[in-house]
Amino acid sequence: MKKILITGFEPFGGENVNPALEAVTKLEGLAINGGEIVTCSVPVVYRKSIEAVIKAIKLHQPDYVITVGQAAGRAAITPERVAINVDDYRIKDNEGNQIVDELINENGPSAYFSTLPIKAIVKSLQDKGIPAQVSNTAGTYVCNHLFYGIQHFLKDSHIGHGFIHIPLLPIQAPEGNQPTLSLDLIVEGLKVAAQAVIDNEIDIAFSSGSIC
């Protein structure tokens, strides 16, 4: 039986919901095939976000970790390929920090790749009719900060980790001028992603790249 820790960010940027937190609340304690999901919420505060997830890893001793955050403007569930070693915040975090052009870790490499099977996750989602694609940038805000920080923390460990960005909820875009996905589909999508992680010790290869 594998244990998967799925974490969700709190609301930020003046909003009062974050689909990531809404979804993980519904995923807590859920059984999937060969595994069980545990969850935790994460503050949108640089450094503290990493500390919160490290605390949950120490508490739950999971086999895999999926960190999740919202990405306004995206229409699909997007496993991130890479975390980069830079903070460059367009807006303040929830404690007023606005870090510009600083390394996340002075002794760390420029980037870390996800250690989850991102292609298998995308294929499983697409096969179920849930929109999904690989993303090649997690931005330079707190999501990338957390992604990088947890990859760094787990770099010598057997625990796999990756970050997934999800679209807004319909309630966050009442005028219909932004792409959204229902909470039910997001919850189902994260369950499918967790199952793909358990079922694919080694990632599958298929083209899901992009051309600029």
List residues binding ligand PCA (CB under 6 A): 9, 12, 18, 20, 44, 69-71, 139, 141-143
Q: Which is nearer to ligand PCA, 139 or 149 (CB)?
A: 139
Catalytic residue among 80, 145, 161, 188: 80
- Residue 51 CB, shortest distance to ligand PCA, in Å, is 15
What are the residues whose beta carbons fall under 8 Å from the beta carbon of 103, sequence distance 6 or more? 85, 86, 87
DSSP 49-110: HHHHHHHHHHHH--SEEEEEEE-TT--SBEEB-EEES-B--SS--TTS----SB-S-TTS-S
Q: Which is nearer to ligand PCA, 63 or 88 (CB)?
A: 88
- Residue 119 CB, shortest distance to ligand PCA, in Å, is 22
Active site residue 15: no
Question: Could you give the CA distance from residue 75 to residue 133 in angstroms, rounded to a whole number?
Answer: 10
Q: Which is nearer to ligand PCA, 143 or 190 (CB)?
A: 143
Question: Could you give the CA distance from residue 15 to residue 184 in angstroms, rounded to a whole number?
Answer: 20
Active site residue 143: yes
Q: Which is nearer to ligand PCA, 64 or 147 (CB)?
A: 147
Using CB atoms within 10 Å of the CB of residue 32, give its burial: 0 to 12 exposed, 13 to 18 middle, 19+ buried.
Answer: middle
Active site residue 36: no
- Residue 40 CB, shortest distance to ligand PCA, in Å, is 14
- Residue 71 CB, shortest distance to ligand PCA, in Å, is 5
Task: State the catalytic residues.
Answer: 80, 143, 165
